Amino acid sequence: MAESSHPRLSRLAHTVLQPGFEGTTVPDWVRRRISEGLTSVVLFARNIHGPEQVAALTTALYAENPALVVAVDEEAGDVTRLEARTGASRPGNLALGTLDDIDITEQVARDVGRELHGLGITLNYAPSADVNTNPLNPVIGVRSFGSRTDVVSRHAAAWVRGLQSAGVAACAKHFPGHGDTVVDSHDGLPQVSADAGTLALTALPPFIAAMDAGVRAVMTAHLLVPAYDSRWPATLSRPVVGDLLRGELGFTGLVVTDAVEMGAVADRYGLTGAAVRAVAAGADAVCVGGAHADEATTARLADALVAAVTDGRLPERRLAEAAARVTEFAGWAGALRRRAPGPRDSPGIGLTAARRAVRVHHGPDRATEFPLVGTPHVVELSPATTLAIDPGTPWGVAEPLKTLRPGTTSVRLGERQLQDGDEVLERLALRPADGRPLVVVVRDAVRYGWMARALAGLVRRRPDALVVEMGVPAGERPGAVYLATHGATRVSGIAAAEVLVGRTGPS
């Protein structure tokens, strides 16, 4: 094997990998690879069952290497690993950007940081610094602070300050900006068509703001930006990573790839080809293990990096430089971890922020009783979510409404269940008995033709319906009353339910 015949190169190769693994305890193969130079691991929802278990897991990892980087993808909001089983207790970026109170954003990020710090996690792949200029974006959406560059810039900086003040390193993503895309990079290769001048004014400022706020890690995006490089996706592009990020913007910290098993790069260059090219282009750490969380994958990637050096495709000095940056970052993040995070700003800040982010619009049918007087029937239209969101993460308004208004009934339907069209809509709109309010809950209705059609059909049949949008609100605001939560977190659902029954006042 390349590893055994080139021990120094093998150690360097292990240093630049950031793999995931299965299970809630440290596998033997991870211990083995740490002894061979592995300097980072990534935790996913599958590794997280509770605070005591996670703390024991990270303690065991640090026993193998006290300077290890333990990373997680905890954006709060819809993308949560810590609360994938319960739904997030903090609103996501779009809710914070809508609220547009940087003190609240900093407090929420600090609250996330305190929790991560207590669990022994040193690097968080957050915040998203993408400007979501395209409402049809299938992978960013509510993960962005909004569609305005100035809003995203100030809140990305606040998120960095808040998280790092609690002793956890932040990572701004997805460079050079994933906001103006219509393809999910988990599945295919998105392309950004804007010219360099436009990108400099719209997409890059949030990353600059994050750097000014002290961010020491940036994650690259798997997308093609012809304004910078017409051949290679950004993660694999020397003009993007070396010339733009390092040269023009002067970033000297850690460059991390988005997961290299994602379709945008793995389908074109293979897992090992993408990893080698990314390091050659200037990336320092290769993230892998969402779907390939095993020793064989880690060994293949380490072997591929060693082989690329020996056959001249990857300069040894570039691999050594990447490994040195990972080691330097690990030392800095470890020192950050050893700092006390300080007292909590405000317990319950997540629900407070979610409540303040709800927006209510009244339609022409003023006869609808609002807040709700009777017990409603709730119809939730459920889309397939991006792979960035754990599929079992709870969301919606029906369950909190059942707590606040006993007797509430509900049904949740996806595209397949609505294939019978008008017949299903008739049953949904006319059931239950006359006189009960109808609440229709959607998630990014503008992006799904079937959902938009179903919503329109339900509102035609029940013009008194109340509509709750838990994704990106865009286009028309149907219904007698239209609520926008700007995210589908657990606390966003609670906040919407409270407004519907009059527990809290709408914004």
Please report the DSSP string for 98-115 in residue order.
HHT-HHHHHHHHHHHHHH
Tell me which residue of 18, 61, 26 sits closest to 42, measured CA to CA. 18
CA–CA distance, 399 with 405 (Å, rounded to integer): 10
In three-state secondary structure terms, 71 is strand
Which tokens is 470 given?
Answer: 């838990």
Q: Which of 14, 186, 222, 292 is an active site residue?
A: 186
Asked about 186 being catalytic, the answer comes back as yes
> CB–CB of 139/184 below 8 Å?
yes
Give the 3-state secondary structure of 208-257: HHHHHCCCCEEEECCCEECCCECCCCHHHCHHHHHHHHHHHCCCCCEEEC
- Which CA distances in Å does 251 have to 73, 217, 321? 22, 9, 15
Catalytic residue from among 258, 284, 303, 444: 258
Residue 441 vs residues 394, 414, 445: alpha-carbon distances, Å: 14, 12, 10
Active site residue 258: yes
8 Å CB contact between 223 and 264: yes
User: For residues 130 and 152, what is the distance between their CA atoms, to the nearest angstrom?
Assistant: 7
Ramachandran quadrant class, 201 (left: phi over 0; alpha: psi -120 to 50; beta: rest): alpha
Catalytically active residues, by annotation: 186, 258
